Amino acid sequence: MEINHYEFEYGEYGETTGVTINLRGFDILRYNNISKGTAFSIDERRKLKLSGYLPPRVKTLEEQVASSLDILNKKETDIEKFIYIRSLYDRNVVLAHAVIASDITKFLPIIYTPTVGLACQQYSSMFRKANGIHFYPGNIDYAEYILRNYTDKDIGIAVVTDNQGILGIGDQGAGGIPICLGKLMLYTQGAGIAPWHCLPISLDVGTDNKELIDDPNYLGWRHERLLGDEYFAFIEKFVVAFKKIFPKALCQWEDFSKQTAFTVRDKYLKEVISFNDDIQGTGSVALAGILAAMKVKKEKMTDQVYLVHGAGAGGIGIAEQIQTELMEQGMSPADAIAKIFTLDSRGVVTSDRDLESYKKNFAKDPKSLPWLKNPEDNTLLNVVKNEKITVLIGTSGQSGCFTKEIVLAVGENTDRPTILPLSNPTTKTEALPKDIYEWTDGKALVATGSPFDPVVHNGKAYRIGQMNNAFIFPGVGLGIIASGASEVLPVFFSAAAHAMAEFVSEEDLRDGILFPPLDQLNEVSLEVAKRVGAEAIKANVAGNDCAVSRFKHKNDVERLNTLIENMRWNPVYN
């Protein structure tokens, strides 16, 4: 067996059972995937020629975690905590993930949104160690060579960004890769996909962010963004190389902007095993919240009227997923679309406008809107009142746009208005949960995109469910990888949404809480993965992986579930 520095060993179900190392001495400590730091035993230190390179005391993993938590507790800001966790990850992958797993609710906002937004903005100034792969016009012609020579060979999933639509802060040039790093940490935390199966990739096609161009510390390709044919030729070169080197790996497109997000997703659906989390993951988690709300209301989704305020990638992704669910519940495509309104900066999206292609499916004929006589009539409040909106969803990034008047107007259309202000970060949320509770006397069903403290209403504290994509994409990814799915189907995200909604406890539903707490991320991801894997088998797209080629009889789903449970990695030392 040819070994390049080190090679992980796997059991019958793909679980990591050990590692073979052809390194000795200080070189071992340079590789974060295999280093145990001070946890190397005396015997290991002798065998691996580490004696003298570490202080005498041998610590357990638990002791290392405790020490790291002490250090973290002394950090004053979230960005300082982010930097510490990333530096810990660069030294010792197991320890970093064990620290995060010790309190996922506390650390998820540190390793991902909202803190990761600051990390993207400060990427060049706080750069410490290279992570992942950076493609730009100067090396994209050698993409196959670069991918082939990447340290980790058994890549199961890559998170790939072109850095243009980073959270609510837009074009970050080369600075978007912390998004990929954070997302992959959640794949590990939620689904148990081992870190050495994960690959972050930045497609640096330039930036139109003048502050970055003028910044002497900027590390990216100092050029305005490629557009049109040049841009898509760059993407094509990447896809061809990725498919050749990692033909069975999942490619998650991340934080592309609006039209580009849909174009890239749709163009490569059949070319590589891929999906866009901003579109499909957001749609799935929003659907999960709506399904939970229907359990509280004891009503059907087909009886609701939906308004998505913000017609970008996330907003249209939500509209698509609602339409898919309404059709699965028996509605025709046209009748389902009639129930869904989308709103952008010019008001309700109507077909008489010159529209981006991704908005056209949900555009309304202005003749069907008798209340829309003049452009000034096209307001959020008028849509809510005249179309009898019962589910109001915010993806606009416009802080405070769900005013008291608008929320009360939704309440006029239903006893339990569903209000979902999803924009990130917290400074961009469409309404504060405490205000929505106060305005509706606690009748509104609320979930948010960002984390919020519990709201006290009538003397009782109510946890605010966070509509976080982390409840969806890790399990979807695990289900795809474990089943060997040859393509990513829309039904995967419907299955994930139903699994998520069914995970909300009866006690939470009685209190109008639409999502489980984040500390159940691992259990939710496991159930999502099983549902997605079952759908892959049902749709006959499973079996693209040797581990699943054995599943060719009537017990396929049962055996796949065993595979999913056993292949999940936990942060413990081999």
Q: Rounded distance, CA 544 to CA 8, Å? A: 21
> pLDDT by residue (tens digit) across 17-36?
888 888 899 999 999 999 99
Residues of the chain with pLDDT > 70, as a percent, come to 97
User: What local confidence, expressed as pLDDT, does residue 259 receive?
Assistant: 79
Give the pLDDT score at 1: 43
Catalytic pick among 36, 59, 183, 237: 183
Task: Check if the beta carbon of residue 309 is closer than 8 Å to that of residue 320.
Answer: no
CA distance 372 to 382: 9
- A 10 A CB-CB count for 534 gives 19
Helices then strands, counting H and E runs in the chain, come out as 23, 16
pLDDT at 549 over 80: no
Report how far residue 354's alpha carbon sits from residue 349's, in angstroms, rounded to the nearest whole number: 10
Report helix, strand or coil for 161.
strand
As a whole number, mean pLDDT of residues 535-554 equals 68
pLDDT given at position 544:
56
Q: Which residues contact 571 (CB under 8 A, 6 or more apart)?
A: 61, 93, 94, 95, 96, 97, 98, 101
Cα 8 to Cα 154: distance, rounded to the nearest angstrom? 9
Q: Which of 6, 112, 187, 437 is catalytic?
A: 112
Tell me whether residue 62 is exposed, middle or buried, using C-beta atoms within 10 angstroms of its C-beta: 0 to 12, 13 to 18, 19 or more: exposed
Q: Domains (ranges, CATH) in the chain?
A: 60-255 (3.40.50.10380), 283-470 (3.40.50.720)
Check pLDDT > 90 for residue 130.
Answer: no
pTM, 2 dp: 0.93
Instruction: Write down the pLDDT at residue 3.
Output: 54
Percent of the chain with pLDDT over 90: 85
Instruction: Summarize the confidence of residues 504-521 as an average pLDDT.
Output: 95
Please tell me which of 163-167, 486-490, 547-551 the model is most confident about, judged by mean pLDDT. Answer: 486-490
**Digit-coded pLDDT (tens) for 394-450:** 999 899 999 999 999 999 999 999 999 999 778 889 999 999 999 999 999 999 998
Tens digit of pLDDT for each residue in 298-333? 999 999 999 999 998 899 999 999 999 999 999 999
Q: Which residues of 306-322 are buried (b: 16+ CB within 10 A; e: fewer)?
A: bbbbbbbbbbbbbbbbb
Q: What is the mean pLDDT of the chain?
A: 93
Q: State the pLDDT at residue 551.
A: 46
Cα(475)–Cα(483) distance, integer angstroms? 12
How far is it between the farthest Cα atoms of the chain?
A: 83
Residue 548: band (very low, low, confident or very high) from pLDDT cuts 50, 70, 90: very low
- Is 183 considered catalytic here? yes
Residue 169 has what pLDDT?
A: 81
In order, the DSSP letters of 352-379 are TS---GGGGGGPBPGGG-TT--SGGG--
To which H or E segment does residue 475 belong? helix 473-483
Q: Is 416 exposed, middle or buried (0-12, 13-18, 19+ CB in 10 A)?
A: middle
pLDDT for position 406 = 98
Closest CA to 175 of 227, 211, 137: 211
DSSP string covering 261-308: HHHHHHHTTTTSEEEEIIIIIHHHHHHHHHHHHHHHHT--GGG--EEE
- pLDDT score at 397: 87
Per the CB < 8 A criterion, the answer to whether 427 and 453 are in contact is no
pLDDT at residue 428, as a whole number:
87
Cβ burial 378-406 (10 Å sphere, 16+ → b, else e): bebebbbbebebbbbbbbbbbbebbeeeb
Average pLDDT score over residue span 367-379: 93
300 included as an active-site residue: no
Res 547 pLDDT > 60: no
Is residue 546's pLDDT more than 70? no
Task: Kindly indicate the confidence band of residue 45, based on its pLDDT and cuts at 50, 70 and 90.
Answer: very high
